[in-house]
Each structure stands twice: as structure tokens, then as C-alpha cells.
Amino acid sequence: MLVLGIETSCDETAAAVVEADPAPGTPVGRIRANAIYAQLGEHRPFGGVVPEIAARAHLERIDGMVARALADAGVGFTDLDGIAATAGPGLIGGVIVGVMTAKAIALAHDKPFLAVNHLEGHALTTRLVEPVAFPFLLLLVSGGHCQLLAVQGVGRYRRLGTTIDDAVGEAFDKTAKLLGLGFPGGPAVERAARDGDPAKFDLPRPLWRKPGCDFSFSGLKTAVRLAAAGLPKDDPRAIADLAASFQRTVGDILVDRCRHAFDMFRTTCGLPPDTPVPLVVAGGVAANQHLRARLADVAASCGARLVAPPPALCTDNAAMIAWAGIERLRLGLVDGLDVAPRPRWPLDPAATAAIGRTGVGAGVKV
């Protein structure tokens, strides 16, 4: 089974071809091609992603990326068994570009079209490279999302906790900007933190040791801003110390929330308290090696193991979209060409919108 995947939800224009056994229950696949154009040059002057610029860059690059992926895989459109594309959530201009490209290919070559939830692409990535059985506990951490979910099967998610304000990846980007570390922020903060003292700054840990497993990062961002304003100018040691302290604090928060989530997960899935379960971490922030080590420790302390994709598959890519397409195609979950792109698309539609401390619903973070 060969599926072409297309990813255009943010600032990566990507196309990939993934191969797998067509039978359900055979999770591991093979990446035949994984072409990615990162729009860093387009967005770096602005210190972040500009949606209109991203959409135009997708439009300019997508045909070439699809052609490159097919050439790298040594296949043509007629060899494919399905065409998958991110249909949301994401920046709607870019999502439209990818969806319409995939629909055109599917229509022209009479192939099944698979509308993939970008978050499900992240959630299932580990099954592309390692045989991880359902159910598993998922920590999804990226620039726009931070949540804990019980993954019970393809398309079957129960949200256990979510951020009530900002995502952890957004906090990394903001910290990098405040410290003058450049864009993208996550890798920049991680590099700076290697030379810093993580105990130098005592930063707040919102919701730490509180019941449940919701997250909050707004107060931490504010504390970093205030600390950064008091740093000596052009002092690399002080910058490294604040970066390391921020990264350690994020690790403390994630560890605390995951520890709570294990009990909630076992209860949700009807498992005995001592059942060993995998903790899967996915999303761009999952590439951070310091946070991986912290999460591996908390998983072990809870009688579990940490499973994470290779760093290259943590950030947005089309291989994860092609793989999610394969998982859906195996189950006969094919979509019509009338499916509309969606800027918001929760993995657990039944979950209530998170309510922030201001009383305003943080539904955008579902």
C-alpha cells in the first residue's frame, strides 16, 4: 500500500510517500520519500510565521514538492493507493492549498482522498516507526497545542487535559524572542540552555501540583519577560541561565501533569492501576532532548515507558500525514471530495472548551 501525503498547515511545505502492509494491525511502515521545504527564510525577518506569506509560499512550492517526493520514491501517480492531506487544524490559507492539491490529484487519477487531522498525524507517528499498540497515553506538545489524550484507536481520542491559555511551543518561541535567540524558538532555546544554570532563576510553575492535568504557560511567559528585562545587555551567560531555567521549569510542569495523567488514563480506558502503558510524546516540542529525558524518567516512575518519534518526525512533515492516511485507508475511512478544510479540528470533539482564569474559553487550544 502506497500513500502520498501532503502537509501545508503552517510553514512547512511537504510531500511524502509512505509504504505499508494493507492489513490492519501491522503498524510499522516504510518512508519511501519525505520532501520538506521549510519557509524559515520567508518568516525570519518577522520573528514568526505570517499566515499570508505562508499560504503564498505553499502555493508556489507544492507542485514541485509533490513531484520531488514521487521522484525520490520512484513511483508515479498510478502506483498510489491513496492521497492524504492535512485538512486542519492550521492556518486556513495553507490548509486550503494542500487540500485542493490533494483533491485534484485524487480526482484526476481516480484515487481515494483522505482528509487527515494534523494532530492525528502527530499522534500516530510513533506507529510508523515502532509497533505501539492501542491504547496509549499521548502528550501532544507543539507551537499551537498542548494536551494529554487517551488514544484508544484511529479516530478515537479522549482528552484528559489541555492548556487553558498558551501552548508550550508558543512559550518557547516567545522566550527565544525575548532573549534575542532568533527563530524558530524551540531549537534556539535548547541550544542556549546547554551552557546555562537551570537553577539560576526561580520561575513560576502554573497549575503545578494542582488536581487534574490541564496546563498553563501564560504566567511563565510573563515571568520570563520580566526576568529578561532585568538582564545585563549582551550578557551571554545570563541569557543562557534564563534559557536553562525556563526549559527546566517547562520540564517540571510537563512531568507533574503527566504523572497525574497516568491515573486518569488507566481509569478512562478501564485498566488496572498497575497496567504498564506507553507514554507517547509527539509534536515539535518532542524533539527537545532535555524534555525527552525528563519524560522518560516520569514514565519509568509510573511503570511505563516513553515512546517518541525520531526528532525529524516530531516537527511538521508529510510522512506523518501519509501514515495517518494509511491507518485510515486500512479501515476504509475514505473521504469525499466535498470535505472542507478546517482551521480548527479537535481530536476529541466531545471535550468541553477549556476555561482560562479570565473566564474566557480557550477553545482555540483544543
Task: Outline where the chain has alpha helix (H).
Answer: 40-43, 51-73, 92-109, 118-129, 168-178, 185-193, 218-229, 236-268, 289-301, 319-330
- pLDDT tens-digit readout, 46-90: 888 899 999 999 999 999 999 999 999 999 999 999 999 999 999
- Flag the least confident range among 265-269, 274-278, 303-307, 326-330: 274-278
End-to-end Cα spacing for the chain: 32
pLDDT at 3: 98
Helix or strand or coil: residue 88? strand
User: Which strands, in side-by-side order, build the sheet including 12-19?
Assistant: 30-38, 12-19, 2-7, 82-88, 113-117
Q: Please give the DSSP secondary-structure letter assigned to residue 316.
A: S
Residue 292 in grid coordinates:
525527552
pLDDT at 360: 42
Model confidence at 45, pLDDT cuts 50, 70, 90, reads confident
* pLDDT above 90 for 192: yes
- pLDDT tens-digit readout, 86-103: 999 999 999 999 999 999
User: Which strands, in side-by-side order, build the sheet including 136-141?
Assistant: 156-162, 146-153, 136-141, 278-282, 305-307
Residue 341 in grid coordinates:
478544510
The DSSP annotation for 140-156 comes to: EESSS-EEEEEEEETTE
- pLDDT tens-digit readout, 24-44: 777 789 999 999 999 988 988
**In angstroms, what is the C-alpha Rg of the chain?**
20
pLDDT at 355: 63
* pLDDT above 80 for 140: yes
Using a cut of 0.75, tell me whether the model's pTM lies above it: yes
- pLDDT tens-digit readout, 203-246: 999 999 999 999 999 999 999 999 999 998 779 999 999 999 99
The single-letter code of the amino acid at 191 is R
Distance CA 91, CA 36 (A): 17
